[in-house]
Amino acid sequence: MAETLQGIGPRSLGRSDGDEAPATPDELSSRLADLCRRMGVTIEIHPGLDDDAPPLTGDRRERYTLGPEIGHGGGGRVILATDRDLRRSVALKVLAERHAGDPQRVQAFLEEAVITAGLEHPNIAPVYDLGWSPILGFYYTMKRLSGRTLVDILDGLRQSDSEEQRSFGLFRALGAFVELCRAVAHAHQRGVIHSDLKPDNVIVGEYGEIVVVDWGMAQLLGPTGASQVRAKIRGGTPEYMAPEQFTETGATLGVSVDVWALGVILYELLTLSVPFRGETADEIGMRVMIEPVTPPAKRAPARPIPPGIEQICMRALERDLSRRYPTVAELLGDVEAWLAGTRERMRRAEQVLHALETAEAVLSPNETLEEELDRALASPDAHASEGEDLEFGRGELLTAYEQAGAALLRGLEIDREAGPLQRLAGDLYWRLFTRIYPSRVRPSPEQRERAIALLSRLSQRACASIVQVGQELGRSEELTPSSSTGEPEGSVWLTVAQMVARRDPDLAHDSAMSTVLSRVTSLKEIPLFQSMPAASLLPIAEACRDVSYAAGATIFGQGDPGDTLHVLLEGYVDILRDGAVINTLEPGECFGEIAVLGEATRTASAVAVDAVRTLALDAPRFRQIVRESGEIGLAVIQSLNDRLRVATRREAALRSLASTILAHKTDFE
**pLDDT tens digits, 87-124:** 899 999 999 888 888 888 899 899 999 999 999 999 99
Largest CA distance in the chain: 123
**624 and 651 housed in the same domain:** no
> DSSP code of 124?
B
In this prediction, residue 610 carries a pLDDT of 94
H/E stretch holding 125 reads none
CATH number at residue 620: 2.60.120.10
**488 and 615 housed in the same domain:** no
In this prediction, residue 314 carries a pLDDT of 97
**251 and 279 housed in the same domain:** yes
Residue 237 neighbours by CB under 8 Å, 6+ apart: 196, 198, 200
In this prediction, residue 328 carries a pLDDT of 97
Whether 538 shows a pLDDT value over 90: the answer reads no
The top-scoring range by mean pLDDT among 219-233, 324-338, 600-614, 615-629 is 324-338
**398 and 482 housed in the same domain:** yes
Mean pLDDT over 59-83 rounds to 82
**15 and 38 housed in the same domain:** yes
What torsion, rounded to 10 degrees, do the Cα atoms 22, 24, 27, 31 define? 70
Mean pLDDT over 291-306 rounds to 93
Whether 24 shows a pLDDT value over 50: the answer reads no
Domain boundary among 488, 511, 534: 511
**319 and 218 housed in the same domain:** yes
**491 and 476 housed in the same domain:** yes
Mean pLDDT over 450-457 rounds to 84
> By residue range, what is the domain housing residue 317?
148-326
Mean pLDDT over 430-449 rounds to 78
**Cα distance between residue 209 and residue 198, in whole Å:** 17
| 571: alpha, beta or left? (left if phi > 0; alpha if psi -120 to 50) | left
Domain count, the chain: 5
The residue ranking higher by pLDDT, 159 or 382, is: 159
**396 and 279 housed in the same domain:** no
In this prediction, residue 371 carries a pLDDT of 87
In this prediction, residue 212 carries a pLDDT of 95
Whether residue 246 contacts residue 285, with contact meaning beta carbons closer than 8 Å, is answered with yes
Mean pLDDT over 464-476 rounds to 74
The top-scoring range by mean pLDDT among 1-5, 364-368, 432-436, 591-595 is 364-368
Whether 435 shows a pLDDT value over 60: the answer reads yes
Return the amino acid letter for 482. Answer: S
Q: What is the pTM of this model?
A: 0.60
In this prediction, residue 11 carries a pLDDT of 33
Q: What is the mean pLDDT of the chain?
A: 80
Whether 409 shows a pLDDT value over 90: the answer reads yes
Distance in angstroms between the alpha carbons of the first and the last residue of the chain: 114
In this prediction, residue 293 carries a pLDDT of 95
